[in-house]
Structure 1
Amino acid sequence: MTTSLASPATALGDALPGRAVAIDTAHVADLISQLLAALGEDPAREGLIDTPNRVAAWWADFLSPDDVATVTCFSESQLSDQLVIVGGMSVWSLCEHHMLPMNLQVAAGYVPDGEVVGLSKLGRIAEHFAGRLQVQERFTEQVAEYLTGVIGRKDVAVAVRGVHLCMGMRGVRMEAARTTTLHTGGRFATDPVLNQQFIAAAQWNAA
């Protein structure tokens, strides 16, 4: 038996922080042309003629991720107190401080109580919150809060390992540096054994 749970959008708000509601691609393309000129390039030269339009189209696509309208859950009356972890989710986002890409490896865990979440939906949740100007810490909390709303309990943990090009391309240029953020709620915050099980499994999934 399956059930479709409504997205907890009312809890998070329909207009989420950093989410674009409309992209003026013509204006973006014009601004990219101005940027190229300011950088000493000729926007009209061969190789750059269509670049502003391509960049504008990319921004419109990236900042318009699919909504997570419904999340399918499967009834499993025999499942209780079992740790479920979905790892290996890799999404791209943009650091809002430098507007450079960051790759986020996501592992999400929860304790089911009579039903389990459709696995593919967790990846869609991660993609949804990655499609905007972000910081890794907020992304981690947003994924955790959404999953909490889906299962109706705080027994949720989310680990994110990020590789930030703003570190690899500028400043100290630490190409191999990774940042890890962790959210633990409910039993994950109060049960040290469950917490350690998730952390160990999340590290394995992110390897």
Structure 2
Amino acid sequence: MDAVIKKIMPASSYMDRPVTDRPSQQEVEAAVRTLLRWTGDNPEREGLVNTPKRVAKAFREMFDGYDKCPADELGRTFEEVAGYDDLVVVKDIEFHSHCEHHMVPIIGKAHVGYLPDGKVVGLSKIMRVVDIFAHRLQTQEAMTAQIAGVIQDVLTPRGVAVMIEAEHMCVAMRGIRKQGSTTLTSTFTGVFKDNPEEQVRFAMMVRGSRY
């Protein structure tokens, strides 16, 4: 795996579980009530009285990636592929994540390709890896590298290509407030990193062009 990915994400993070002891349900609900007061609203009014409990439940769902190991999802592979050794691309994997700077949504699509080296993995496993990393506080750059890194480390293919395109609500809802703009990131390992023609082929397959 290339040095850039190693700097962004140490290999140990593939196995990471929550890094701190989680607070109690009561502590979480109290924190949400404080935030409701901070907005200027009354947490005791009818419409908000059950909001702290709902927010706690929603957070457990949206951030369940901290309780899952992406490397585990890639553990089962298949070698009966009739000699297939060309590019495998899973594109348009829709995901939602949250910006680690403002904790507002990132909504987008991931495109993942790899060149097998004697074994392939179930397509749904690639999608689950995307979701696990997405369901953590993220930056798009780090998430792109994390997906490529774990696939390269666990499957050891000849190369991995990852492209993510997403809209960031921290740009659309606050600050500059520009709706509709998207951010595109990509990273390559192995053959893709060494051969720009393979990068182009991956991009063309993602875009649906003939080559």
**Shorter chain as normaliser: what TM range?**
0.7 to 0.9
Secondary structure at 1:183 match in 2: strand
> Structure 2 length normalisation: TM-score?
0.84
- What letter matches 1:155 in structure 2? G
Task: Report SS of the residue matched to 1:85.
Answer: strand
Given candidates 102, 106, 113, the residue that maps to 2:110 is 106
CA contact (8 A) 2:16 2:69 kept: no
Offset at 1:115? 1.7
**What is the CA-CA distance between 1:171 and the residue it aligns to?**
1.9
Match in the other structure for 1:73:
77
Q: Which residue of 1 aligns with 2:181?
A: 177
Conserved? CA contact 1:144–1:156, under 8 Å? yes
- Matched-pair contact (CA < 8 Å) for 2:129–2:147: yes
Deviation at 1:111, TM superposition (A): 0.6
Confirm or deny: 8 A CA contact 1:140 1:160 kept in the other structure: yes
Distance 1:21 1:152 in 2: 34
- DSSP-derived class of the 2:175 partner: coil
1:114 partner SS = coil
Q: How does 1:72-91 map to 2 (within 5 A)?
A: 72-75=76-79, 76-80=81-85, 82-91=86-95
Are 1:22 and 2:15 an aligned pair?
Answer: no
For the structure 1 residues 70 and 168, does the alpha-carbon distance in structure 2 shift closer, same or farther, using more than 3 Å as the test? closer
Which residue is equivalent to 2:3? none
**CA deviation string 1:71-113 (max 9, x = no partner):** 2322125112x11100111111100111110013100001112
| Larger proportion of strand | 1
Equivalent residues, number = 194
Q: For residue 98 of structure 1, what is the amino acid of its counterpart?
A: H
Alignment gaps of 5+ in structure 1: 1-9
**Hey, what does 2:56 align to over in structure 1?**
56
Alignment-derived partner of residue 41 in structure 2: 41
- Give the Cα–Cα distance (whole angstroms) in 2 for the partners of residues 154 and 19 of structure 1: 33
Change (3 A) 1:94 1:130: same
| 23 and 139 in structure 1: CA distance in 2 versus 1, 3 angstrom threshold | farther
**Separation (CA, whole Å) in 2 of partners of 1:106 and 1:148:** 16
Give 1:148's match in structure 2, choosing from 140, 149, 152: 152
Query: CA, structure 1 residues 137+20, in 2 after alignment: closer, same or farther (shift >3 Å)?
Result: farther
SS at match of 2:94: strand
* CA distance in 2 between partners of 1:25 and 1:139 (Å): 29
1:129 aligns with 2:133: yes
Describe the shift of the 1:40–1:70 C-alpha distance in structure 2 as closer, same or farther (beyond 3 A): closer
Q: Which amino acid aligns with 2:165?
A: R
Normalised by the length of structure 1, the TM-score is: 0.86
Paired position in structure 1 for 2:163: 159
Q: Quick one: distance in 2 between partners of 1:193 and 1:35?
A: 51
**Partner Cα separation in structure 1 for residue 195 and residue 38 of structure 2:** 56
Give yes or no for contact 1:87–1:202 (8 Å, CA) kept in 2.
yes
Match of 1:67, as an amino acid? C
Distance 1:185 1:73, change over 3 A: same
Mark the CA change 1:53 to 1:120 in structure 2 (over 3 Å): closer, same or farther.
Answer: same
Structure 2 residue runs of 5 or longer lacking an equivalent are: 1-9
Deviation at 1:56, TM superposition (A): 1.2
